Amino acid sequence: MKDEVTREERVDNLKGMGCSRKRVEDARFTQGKGNYVDDVKLDGMLFGDFVRSPYAHARIKSIDTAAALEVPGVLAVLTAADLEPLGLHWMPTLAGDKQMVLADGKVLFQGQEVAFVVAEDRYAAADGIELVEVEYEELPVLVDPFEALKSDVVLREDTVDENGKATDGAHGPRKHPNHIFTWDAGDKEPTEEVIANADVVAEESMYYHRTHPCPLETCGCVASMDKVNGKLTLWGTFQAPHAIRTIVSLISGLEEHNIRVISPDIGGGFGNKVGAYPGYVCSVVASIVTGKPVKWIEDRMDNLMTTAFARDYWMKGKISATPEGKITGLHCHVTADHGGFDACADPTKFPAGFMNICTGSYDIPTAYLEVDGVYTNKAPGGVSYRCSFRVTEAVYFIERMIEVLAIKLDMDAAELRRINFIKKEQFPYTAALGWEYDSGDYHTAWDKALKAVDYDGLRAEQAQRVEDFKAGKTRKLMGIGLSFFTEIVGAGPVKNCDILGLGMFDSCEIRIHPTGSAIARLGTISQGQGHATTFAQILASEIGLPADSITIEEGDTDTAPYGLGTYGSRSTPVAGAATAMAGRKIRAKAQMIAAYLLEVHDDDVEFDVDRFVVKGAPEKFKTMKEIAFAAYNQAIPGIEPGLEAVSYYDPPNMTYPFGAYVCVMDIDVDTGVPDIRRFYALDDCGTRINPMIIEGQVHGGLTEALAVALGQEIAYDDMGNCKTGTLMDFFLPTAWEVPNYETDFTVTPSPHHPIGAKGVGESPHVGGVPCFSNAVQDAFRPFGNMHTNMPHDHWRIWKTANDLGLHG
Amino acid sequence: MSKKQHYAITVNGKEEEFLAEPRELLIYTLRERLNITGPHIGCETSHCGACTVTIDGKSVKACTMFVAQANGKDITTIEGIGGPDDLHPLQEAFKEHHGLQCGYCTPGMITRATKLLEENPNPTEEDIRFGMAGNICRCTGYQNIVKSIQAAAAEMNAAKEAAE
Amino acid sequence: MIPAAFEYYRPKDMAGVLSILEEHGDDARVMAGGHSLIPMMKLRMADVPHLIDLQDVGGMSDIEISSDSIRIGALVTQAEIIDHADLAKVAPILREAALQIADPQVRYMGTVGGNVANGDPGNDMPGLMQCLDAVFTVVGADGERDIPARDFYEAAYMTAREDEEVLTAVTIPLPNGGYAYEKQKRKIGDYATAAAAVQIVKDGETCSSVAIAMTNLSDTPIYSEAAGAALIGTAVDAVALDAAVAAMLGDIDPSEDNRGPVAFKNHVAGVILRRAIERAWSRA
């Protein structure tokens, strides 16, 4: 067969790894033909919605549903009393705790689910909700975790024995009835000793405020129980559909094969859609009870007030160093506010997630971390908002501690980072808190970043600005925000990562069709990351069929192989690896077929882009397309027909993407208004599958970082009322508030990942938050600022200036 | 519940008649009654713009309009802007420049952008950022949305010039 | 977020509106663009059993500019204010302020009448209209009456308009001199942390007249006569600015909210007013 196409063209035709392939998802999204859960419409479908508690802490004296049931169209009102006989009035959380599905005698946070009204349409449901009469007896409210640990008020009656003594929790003994767990890592005494004897010690307390992932699409589901066949189908906004199937099976008693969970298109997740929520349970129960499909969709207030907050970490740090700035020890204590139930979405053995990555990118010989989880009268959650488990908190902590230490040492913060980075030759590097960093080249990245922004020039400009400010020539200060982050993503090795006992592997199953196209199914689910585009690129490079000929399918548990889903930047590190490995199985079989067809020994053919060629005779080859056809139409001795493969990939380690960010900000001292002049982001996510998508992820992650750093919070008053329940007060920036970003990269492939990729979706958020915050704080460093807490909204920035006496 | 009324609206060129309660929000009329599910629901308080449609030549957030108010009006949604055989340059440009990720804001975003370019065929970046500030995107950070709209504007202007 | 059920009316003329209002009293509300009222109804914070949509009522959608005044119909939208070239010439502060209200979609729907009539202290137009010494025309069963904007606002959501009256037009004397509408907000779509409307006339080197009003710094807009008085007859120098700011601070009474505590708001109000005066003066 004559081949006029050059090798380069053959590579291009595949649209494999490394090219900015346009997204295959976009045709439907740009034409309004996406299929999100609220687009699901079934015959006879009912709507369910919640009566929610107006109080943060109250006993429920009575619930009267009679008037609601009179509303035309209202079919049922479920309360805890209805769920109790089924054992469904409480449900297990991912964190080893349990959570009320519907208020069982009391409520623990404002907005808690009290009753579930099922009606023919959403209007009748809303009218019914208004008429459910709940009598509450208000109880003392605890919104401060430190108070909660001292209070006589016991929030959870299941945390004490009959003598009122605190019982053991899921992670060991409780110190107090409102205490959930203590979790630690590292060496306590040696760390304390190093710090006690150090030449220089910097200490700081910081609050990483409560916020929320707030994807544009809220959470929701449609449950449809087919009583004839005994099958339940559950569509929903699930970042982990397979895990949801298992959970539904475990708590409902339905056999898992009778449950089909479908995650359709998801309108952003950012961690909000990992957990299991009362709405899912109530919809399933309501469908079983009524025999009809039941839809439940949160409204925005429900979403912000009740499902999946993030952060809320009170962090206290000590960092020690030599006078020259070499860090010798790090101590961190966290008081973690988990709200009324511990519903964190972390791997089972990590109740504080991977907070123990808090030594960051630095070679710190001794460290200790201790985290205390606490119940308060706030909504449950504690999800990873666009980050791997608690990594955002960890990176914020260390990147602030570095800045504080730099102030203490009177040293440039960029230089302090440089002299403490883990060196390239130290990888794989085992950190003091236990993680083995797989790879990195921090100095190269840092130098590239500082050069790109002309760091010395910026510092000179800043010094001049300070002079001008002091001379009364300007009322604007200039801040240079630095951050260098190391993420830990791709959870994770089954030996130490599971959720509810489910190992955190992931999977890919490939079927090559006779004509040389393919379908691959994965255990993950895209929420905008573009999996259908990028996973096809991985496969194209691995199996030599064009990405355009490969369909990627996720999210239907009846067809996709089991996997743990998409969050914590785990899709590329785990499912991406599974995809490559499954592709290699395809290739191995294809090699045997090619050898047979070419009448040579298996070892005498080699893979070349889109074909197997006879070694030393490149004119003799069989394309993958030809091989695919042969797999289905030829009886090949010793080889089964067909060309399919499946891989379940258990990663040997996490991956450790890193990056160097610089933000330049001008701050109006008198109004507290910040203006982001420049933002430079260098990311190293290892092998780059699709540069266009990587860049898009970086833009998005930085924008979510900007929001969190500069104003986005879930705030409560003293009575536990949520003050930020709509988008008027919960800060989501518009195009007007967001700058243009400059993106850059280095490439340090992961040594253990089949294609060297590390994951990128969350890096910009993890690295971005401290960068924006450091820019604000750096502007005030010349005037004596050590640390101020986020979010740096106008009034808090103004307060910083005011506290420093800058308002005259 | 109040009595259902007779309403008639034109959506994407097609006249639709039905009975509905006046309180029915236009976004639900479109999505649930007429199965036009391109416009989405994001915030419900007129902040996010996911529900943006064009009504009698104005960009409107359909979550903040009762069906009764819309009676007699001419409505265009993303479905009426372009389909598989006649993609609008904005739809092409959003695909080409990675102007979307999860896709949830996209129909409202593109619908709003059609109106922006109608009013201002040569917008600066600042014009675009200001003119699109009624639409929130949680995924893209807007940079590629701005780029997409700029590209579509150039494309549309070039096509117009070629036609003249 | 689903509102409670209501009866909907879309009368063709004002007589029709007034008769429904008369019949249902404070159970009835008129609505123009609905972008203040509908979210409140959806959150079930406003209960409106009888909703009167004004969109078909004629005679309230025009901007008329005469030799000494501007008459803006209640149904004129923010977008129409922004797009009206002649209006921008004679009263550019209207455009400058309207551009700082909400976002493009909301400005297509939001009307001048709705913005000034409902008494929401967060709205920008009430303070602006006080600055411009506008007069609001309301009509009721007993006919029309005019209420100066500076006398209109009594408390949050409480105005001099009776429940049975409808605000039909805003009449503004043609403004003179320099202008500025300065607003600090957290983001597009937000109400003001502090906003100041200033219209100032320069005679030679001194200020001969000025009007100053502040937004979202009390439960009503604040027309600060004292702040203006501090500038009149001065060269609007630093001393006069200080005096004007001090006088304004005596008139406002901000409360703490998510935008910040009182001390911050007072400080920002001063900064914003100072900037507004300086900008207006530079244009005078």
Asked if residue C1 belongs to a domain, the reply is: no
Q: What are the tens digits of pLDDT across the range A353-402?
A: 999 999 999 999 999 999 999 999 999 999 999 998 999 999 999 999 99
Look at A29 and B100 and tell me if their CB atoms are within 8 Å: yes
Say whether C264 and A795 touch across the interface (CB within 8 A): yes
Mean pLDDT of chain C: 97
CATH number, domain with residue C188: 3.30.390.50
Q: Domains of chain B by range and CATH?
A: 5-80 (3.10.20.30), 89-163 (1.10.150.120)
Is the predicted ipTM greater than 0.90, yes or no? yes
Q: Where are the alpha helices (DSSP H) in chain C?
A: 14-24, 37-42, 78-83, 85-90, 92-98, 104-109, 112-117, 125-131, 149-152, 225-231, 238-251, 262-283
**pLDDT tens-digit map of A191-214:** 999 999 999 999 999 999 999 999
Is residue A263 exposed (0-12), middle (13-18) or buried (19+ Cβ within 10 Å)?
buried
Record: contact B64-C35, CB cut-off 8 A:
yes
pLDDT tens string B69-107: 999 999 999 999 999 999 999 999 999 999 999 999 999
Domains contained in chain C, number: 3
Q: How far is residue A777's CA from residue A769's CA, in Å, rounded to a whole number?
A: 12
Asked if residue C168 and residue C67 are part of one domain, the reply reads yes
Stretches where chain B sits below pLDDT 50 are none
Q: Do A216 and B134 touch (CB under 8 A)?
A: no
Residue A127: list chain C partners with CB under 8 A: 2, 4-5
Q: Neighbouring chains of B at 3+ CB pairs within 8 Å?
A: A, C
Cβ neighbours, 10 Å, residue B23: 25
> Looking at residue C70, which CATH number applies to its domain?
3.30.465.10
What is residue A235's predicted lDDT score, i.e. its pLDDT? 98
Pairs of CB atoms within 8 A across B/C: 84
How far is the C-alpha of C261 from the C-alpha of A234, rounded, in Å?
47
Among C143, C173, C203, the domain boundary falls at C173
> Domain check: are C194 and C168 in the same one?
no
Q: What CATH number is attached to the domain comprising C24? A: 3.30.43.10
Round the average pLDDT of chain A to a whole number and report it: 96
- Residue A2 — pLDDT band, cuts 50, 70, 90? low
pLDDT over 70 (residue A3): no
Per-residue pLDDT band at A257 (split at 50, 70, 90): very high
What values do phi and psi take at A357, rounded to 5? -95, 15
Q: pTM of this prediction? A: 0.97
Q: What is the pLDDT of residues C139-184, one digit of tens each?
A: 999 999 999 999 999 999 999 999 999 999 999 999 999 999 999 9
Residue A746: predicted pLDDT? 98
Is residue C167 domain-shared with residue C192, that is, in the same domain?
no
Task: Compute the average pLDDT of residues A16-22.
Answer: 97
Q: What is the pLDDT of residue A492?
A: 81
Which structural domains are found in chain A, ordered by start? Answer: 7-34+506-649 (3.30.365.10), 37-141+218-266+274-306 (3.90.1170.50), 309-491+654-803 (3.30.365.10)
Question: Which of A297, A724, A794, A806 to probe the C interface (max C CBs under 10 A)?
Answer: A794
Would the CB atoms of A734 and C272 count as touching at under 8 Å? no
Structural domain of residue C21, as residue ranges? Answer: 7-53
If pLDDT is split at 50, 70 and 90, which confidence band does A689 have?
very high
Segment A638-677, tens digit of pLDDT: 999 999 999 999 999 999 999 999 999 999 999 999 999 9
Nearest to C103 among B25, B44, B134 (CB): B134
| C183 and C268 belong to one structural domain | yes
Four-residue CA torsion sign, A416, A420, A425, A430: negative
**3-state SS, residue C120:** coil
B103: nearest CB among A265, A299, A735 = A265
Do C196 and C205 meet the contact criterion of CB atoms below 8 Å apart? no
* E strand residue ranges, A338-388: 366-374, 381-383
- Residues of chain C with Cβ-Cβ distance to A672 below 8 Å are 264, 268
Residue C2 within a domain: no
Above 90 in pLDDT, residue A108? yes
Is residue A499 scored above 90 in pLDDT? no
Note if A19 is an active site residue: no
Kindly report the nearest CA distance between residue A497 and chain B, in angstroms.
28
Judge whether A98 is closer than 8 Å to chain B, CB to CB: no
Task: Say if residue C79 is in the same domain as residue C25.
Answer: no
Strands in C7-9's sheet, in edge-to-edge order, are C7-9, C50-53, C28-31
Test B64 with C103 for CB contact under 8 angstroms.
Answer: no
Among residues A637, A490, A470, A494, the alpha carbon closest in space to that of A567 is found at: A490
- Spell out the per-residue pLDDT of chain C, length 284, in tens: 999 999 999 999 999 999 999 999 999 999 999 999 999 999 999 999 999 999 999 999 999 999 999 999 999 999 999 999 999 999 999 999 999 999 999 999 999 999 999 999 999 999 999 999 999 999 999 999 999 999 999 999 999 999 999 999 999 999 999 999 999 999 999 999 999 999 999 999 999 999 999 999 999 999 999 999 999 999 999 999 999 999 999 999 999 999 999 999 999 999 999 999 999 999 99
The single-letter code of the amino acid at A37 is V
Window 66-85 of B, Cβ < 8 Å to A: 77-79, 82-84
Tell me the two tokens of residue A517: 């196209």
Among candidate residues C140, C173, C206, the one where a domain is terminated: C173
Buried b vs exposed e over A301-333: b needs ≥16 C-beta within 10 Å? bbbbbbbbbbbbbbbbbbbbbeeebbbbbbbbb
Kindly state whether residues C82 and C48 are assigned to the same domain. no
Q: How far is A49 from chain B (nearest CA, A)?
A: 16
Domain stop point among C124, C158, C173: C173
Within this chain, do residues C48 and C94 fall inside the same structural domain, yes or no? Answer: no
Short-list A435, C79, C241, CA closest to B119: C79
Say yes or no for a CB contact (<8 Å) between C4 and A127.
yes
One domain, residues C138 and C209: no
Q: Are residues C126 and C44 in the same domain?
A: no
pLDDT of residue A425 exceeding 60, the answer is yes
pLDDT one-digit tens code per residue, A745-770: 999 999 999 999 999 999 999 999 99
* Domain identity same for C157 and C201: no
C211 with C254, same domain: the answer is yes
Q: Are residues C183 and C279 in the same domain?
A: yes
**Looking at the domain assignment, is residue C204 inside a domain?**
yes
CB of A785 within 8 Å of a chain B CB? The answer is no
